[in-house]
Amino acid sequence: MNPDLDAQLLSELRDLYTDTDPMPADLVTRVRFALALENLDVEVARMTTELQRAVRADPGDEESRTITFDSPNLTVMVVFDRAPDGTVRMDGWLAPPAPYTVEMRTVTGSLRVVADDDGRFVVEGVPSGMTQLVVRPRGGDDRLRRPVVTPAFMV
């Protein structure tokens, strides 16, 4: 057993993995973003479907993305469309429908809107990058007992 040789071999092995499969530069930021919830008593929704499609339109191509999240008490469907200024517009629907508060957490801050009675909401000016949705119950509505949080995802 040679501790110096072992250390050298481990160092070379680390360098090999660093060169061939490096850790994403923003991994630590993404993990912290996903974990930074002010209220840990939440219901987590899982992503059930994702559909991305290109729509041809003059003068160029547009891209639209649809994601559906499900939890035991709420389904959230959102459609993302790229705006001309580089931001994203998100149209969403909640089922069962209710005027819940919808927060879109981004790396630059949070954007909050209230869904209408039919569960529809729109968030405009969403910056590209890591995003997470938090749907919160509003006073007087006992159908949703605690916030529903989606996994973090990229827009």
SS (H, E, C) the chain: CCHHHHHHHHHHHHHHHHHHCCCCCCHHHHHHHHHCCCCCCCEECEEEEEEEEEEEECCEEEEEEEEEEECCCCEEEEEEEECCCCCEEEEEEEECCCCCEEEEEECCEEEEEECCCCCEEEEEEECCCEEEEEEECCCCCCCCCCCEECCCEEC
| pLDDT for position 13 | 83
pLDDT tens series, the chain, 155 aa:
788 888 888 888 888 888 888 877 777 766 666 666 555 556 667 777 666 554 444 444 456 789 999 998 899 999 999 888 889 999 999 999 999 999 999 888 899 999 999 999 999 999 988 899 999 988 766 677 888 999 888 88
